[in-house]
Chain A
């Protein structure tokens, strides 16, 4: 049933078996496993059915590090959460990503890909995509063709092509997709405008007895439950923990300071290098298939050999006149002027021919950008700021550091290995941009908002916050769902793995309750 905090008497104490905070992909996935059981469930949503500016303001925080992270834009406090912002790109982690790597400190998950496979399959079903398609070799071959890099196919290549399937708009907002199930469930209350302000621990701090909730109209309440699940995202989960006495660094737990630490995202560095292909310019017919996207990467064998992180190599042609929607006569003229200034008459003619054929012009010159996995680093961390939000909760103080040497090495070495592949094929050459050579391109002001790692999963409280079942170390009934539990960040979009991990947690909770 759908409820609102204002519907309850002020300072009400409500009791449930399980309380899930958050209606994003993580919270809904945990809940989906528990729907239909006789468990009484509360699902808390900080905002309403749609985004409201005053609730969005609760996301405001402070950046104190050299790199800037948007704390407000990529998070939605409303039914569905960040699932409403997500572009639907899905890919599973690779098996080696769960392993400990000597060159990545704090790497190594306490679970393996095998532990997640069944949930990846279930997540694929929920999202309307095909699990098998991720491993479809025909599709990988198509990748090279779609990128106009068909000639780069080689046995024993240093490159691999990764498939991202796209979950369509009808499937990817899980809250909307399962809205009727949630609304009609007699055992489940979705309570809107109930922001978690504090976890209330038992005297021995081994259990969470209740959580305090409030809205912006002076309504407040308390939720008691046997089990609590925080599913509020990788910035909000540690914020809630740190706000609660137990996890404030000088208190009883969090001895190793991992709550809020090891923040990771996927910084992208565009225009790292240019590719000069030996092949001739050509027109490529549009083969529009919106169900998947692809990116190149140095394959896992070479990546581990070279001791570099996961990454994406994005190729984009220069001088591409493919955007028909903005293609005005004025633009044609300016495009011509530019080309004639470059004395590239042949290209200009070729482009016009491609336009007439309604095909994409494939230039010889391509831009190469690199997206990065970030390693877990204690220096990338989130703490509480002295200032508070409208509900009296301390704001986030985000310190996002410059790229580490390992990340910089990944940028340079991945491009070099791609250059070697092109050299072996005699297909072209790569030139680093001057900005990169002088270090300027390392300045990161933008990320793809894939926040991960702030309540990391580990096999020990000495190196993490939650165990392999997403249970918080030292607390018997507190679990965390979402990307904050990621031990390492991979390079693929996190939501698919968030859903798989949350389904696994939901299944685990269902079993322990039964």
Chain B
């Protein structure tokens, strides 16, 4: 079958636009919290379930407020500082046997909600 050159270019362009838009939509579909959480992908190598606690809700509200007030970058910097402070002062807990900081544990709880 002979393919018309014009049709081929048009078809290829349409496909590319669709792919790019799809990826964009997918990115757009992530809310701020999810983008925040994607910075903490590798806290522990563990498949999370979807159970959450009240603490996770409190932490979620805190992060939402921070994200809206100071933005993603400053929120991450602030949370990273909190994690270090936890480790320095011994604010740690066990999460499925893993030793994590209190703040990391809250992040993991929150991640479970968004699984």
Contacts and interface: CB of A to CB of B under 8 A. Distances in A.
Given A429-B98, A430-B99, A420 B44 contact: no
Contacts of A415: 99
Given A430-B98, A430-B99, A424 B45 contact: no
Interface of A is mostly: helix
A26 to B, nearest CB: 42
A463 interface: no
A432 interface: yes
Contacts of B99: 415-416, 419-420, 423, 429-432
A412 to B, nearest CB: 10
Interface in B83-105: 83-84, 86-88, 90, 92, 94, 96-101, 104
Interface of B is mostly: mixed
A404 interface: no
Nearest to A306: B90
Contacts of A421: 87
A469 interface: no
A332 interface: no
Contact of B87 (A276, A423, A434, A437): A423
Contacts of B88: 420, 424
A278 interface: yes
A425 to B, nearest CB: 9
B86 to A, nearest CB: 8
A432 to B, nearest CB: 5
Nearest to B104: A423
Interface size class of A (residues with CB under 8 A): 10 to 19
Contact of A420 (B42, B45, B90): B90
B92 A416 contact: yes
B43 interface: yes
Given A429-B43, A434-B97, A423 B83 contact: yes
B97 A432 contact: yes
Given A276-B44, A423-B83, A424-B84, A429 B100 contact: yes
Interface in B67-86: 83-84, 86
A431 B97 contact: yes
A210 to B, nearest CB: 59
Contacts of A433: 97
Given A276-B44, A419-B92, A437 B97 contact: yes
Contacts of B94: 432
Contact of A278 (B42, B90, B97): B42
A29 to B, nearest CB: 43
Nearest to A418: B99
A419 B87 CA distance: 8
Contacts of A434: 97
Contacts of A276: 44-45
Nearest to A434: B97
A511 to B, nearest CB: 50
22 contacts: A276-B44, A276-B45, A416-B90, A416-B92, A416-B99, A417-B90, A419-B99, A420-B88, A420-B90, A420-B99, A421-B87, A423-B84, A423-B92, A423-B99, A424-B84, A424-B87, A429-B98, A430-B99, A431-B44, A431-B98, A433-B97, A434-B97
Given A423-B87, A429-B98, 4 more contacts: A419-B99, A420-B87, A420-B92, A423-B83
6 smallest beta-carbon distances between A and B, as pairs: A419-B99, A423-B87, A420-B87, A431-B98, A424-B87, A431-B97
Interface of A: 276, 278, 415-417, 419-421, 423-424, 429-434, 437
Interface of B: 42-45, 83-84, 86-88, 90, 92, 94, 96-101, 104
